[in-house]
Amino acid sequence: MTRPLTLLGQEPGDIETFSALLQDATLRLVDVGFDRKARRLALLINRYRREVAAPSRIRSALRVETVEVVQRAGWSNDPEAVTAILSLSQDGDWLVITCAGGIAIRARVEVIDLVLEDIGEPWATTRVPDHG
């Protein structure tokens, strides 16, 4: 059994690593929250585990700290809608989470302060992402 992942990102170069780990994670829109007072954006996701040989997913939390403003685009009216994360990128002071179906979340941050943490046991999956 592999140890749960806990990753801290504080440099622009860390964003590429986070993006690779987040790619193909499934996200219910209802599992996105912004705490304005704490300046924290949090997402609960089902992350596809690329770091292991057998196809599996694990429940994970992505926290973005020092958030000043959050914007969203392409948001469904159905809070139970599910999308897949395609990438995480930086555009100036903004971190951009791009998802399938034209959905995006933008967070303007004071500094890069990211935490990705596995919060459960992995489970096997037969649905393997295919970008071919």
Structure tokens at 28: 């219910």
The DSSP output letter for 102 is: G
Ramachandran assignment for 74, one of left (phi > 0), alpha (psi -120 to 50 degrees), beta (any other): left
Inside any domain, residue 107:
yes
In a domain, 86, yes or no: yes
Contact call for residues 86 and 96 (beta carbons, < 8 A): no
pLDDT at 88: 98
Domain count of the chain?
Answer: 1
* Residue 11 falls inside a structural domain: yes
The burial of 126, by beta-carbon neighbours within 10 Å (0-12 exposed, 13-18 middle, 19 or more buried), is given as exposed
Domain annotation covers residue 64 = yes
Range of the domain at 63: 6-123
Spatial CA neighbour of 40 closest among 92, 116, 114: 114
- The predicted structure's pLDDT at residue 79: 76
* pLDDT tens profile 62-78: 999 999 999 999 999 88
Establish if 130 belongs to a structural domain.
Answer: no
Number of Cβ atoms within 10 Å of the Cβ of 99: 22
Residue 129 domain-assigned?
A: no
What pLDDT digit, counting tens, does each position of 1-50 carry?
567 899 999 999 999 999 999 999 999 999 999 999 999 999 999 999 98
| Element at 20 (helix H, strand E) | helix 14-22
C-alpha–C-alpha distance, residues 29 and 17, integer Å: 23
Cα dihedral 54, 131, 78, 15 sign: positive
73 inside domain: yes
pLDDT band at residue 90 under the 50/70/90 scheme: very high
Q: Is residue 131 part of a domain?
A: no
